[in-house]
Amino acid sequence: MGGEQALRALANTTYEFNAATFQIGQEETPASAARGTIAFGRIVTDYRGDRRLTTQESRAITGVVTRSRRVVAGGIGMTETNGVPAPDAPGAVAAAAADVRLLPDQLLLAALSSPSTLSAAGTRRVRGEAMDGVRYANGPDTASLWFDRLSGLLVIAERVTDDGVLGDRRNTATYTRWADAAGVKLPRQIDSEANGRLVQHTIITAALANTALADSLFAIPDSIARRAQRGPIAAAPIAVTLQELGPNVWRAEGGSHHSLVVRQPNGLVVVEMPQGSARSRAVLDTLRSRFPGVRVHTAVSTHHHWDHSGGVREYVAQGIPVVAHARNVDFIRGIGAAPKTVAPDALSRVKRTPVVRAAAADFALGTGETRVEFPELPNTHVEGMLTAYVPSLRILFVADVVQPGPAMTSVGAREVVAMVRARGIAVDRVVGAHQGVVAWADVERAAARP
């Protein structure tokens, strides 16, 4: 990259970039290609001042364009979205600092400064060539690095982190098209993968180093700085409450994702296992407290998207059978079988084989007043989507396709209305896995909008 002396003299970098970021975990089916958000912008990193500025314009899969400007300086951060500024949470500031530490130049400098952290990582074939590796062991920044034998340049940096769906998540960054910038070689293409799946493809269209930087670039207004939180990142406790929807039916609420709970004579049905194991434990602990001695006899997955299936492992660990759409059965089994060595959980310890079965057509659980049916919902959001319908209360539990409330989209509302009419079922209320609970008439009105 120009030698250790050149790297240590690197005071700042400025990158102009184009990038495609792929939404793994939000695909049409578990094995489909992920959709991409396109962005372009600039990143200015001031190593000497411990400051960073990111400006970008992005176009989401919906076509919505967002312009943002983010500044991290003095231990706090600010993000301005479409002209509206707000302070960053401490976790976002810490993540930005980690991003800087893991840049190739900074990672190599840290490794050079701490030779005792290094060990051989063996040889790896990349692009058909053998490359030599070294492991840099430094807590959360631990990485394995592989270098091109001919050029000596870094090609791959790989870190293993914990993931609720993937288990051990191998985050691999591949650096190519190195070119000089003020005496230091910097990559012009960066491809990031998670367990072999492309997460981000970035092209550096221009790279500068050691330029004069104006302090105004990194200014955070006093009105924002006063509201910024500092200090250690504390994990907020997960609070789950049971909102009664009718006799023997509740929504387990808390945060952005909710589950449906139905008490039947032989136990409880839980629909939706979102986010992660901690959230699942909070739900199951709440149910044990509210219904002592009553077991959860079945958990049902509405669809495969990772934010809705990240809590599966805790249910499996507690021996609770899972039902999923036939398209998603292998995916759910894979979550339960994933190795989890970075942060072993309850399932890692009990080593229980997941019991997962497919929801056949017209699948239902129970009889009488507590019967729950699981109609499939054809939609453009995801394949293999199950809803939950309680005929006695005429309520329909829906994930993602509609988010009941003022922001309901007409497209999703039309898809729900079409399914309800095709099946000839009567619905009085729609209950969201996100957002609120609305009358059926509200969904029909949303569906009628252009």
Evaluate whether 68 touches 220 at the Cβ level (below 8 Å).
no
Distance CA 404, CA 446 (A): 10
**Number of residues that make up the chain:** 450
| Cα gap 249→22, rounded to integer Å | 37
Per-residue pLDDT, 413: 98
Residue 326, SS3? helix
- What's this model's pTM, rounded to 2 decimal places? 0.93
Predicted confidence at residue 119, as pLDDT, reads: 97
pLDDT of residue 399: 98
CA angle 278, 100, 134 (to 5 degrees): 85
What is the predicted pLDDT for the residue at 334? 97
Q: What is the dihedral of CA 298, 302, 306, 307, to 10 degrees?
A: -90
Q: 90 near 233, Cβ under 8 Å?
A: yes
And the tokens for 217? 């670039």
Q: pLDDT under 70 in the chain at which residues? A: 234
Which residue segments constitute the domains of the chain, with CATH numbers given?
A: 4-112+180-225 (2.50.20), 241-448 (3.60.15.10)
Residue 449 is predicted with a pLDDT of 94
In degrees and rounded to multiples of 5, residue 130 shows phi and psi of -80, 130
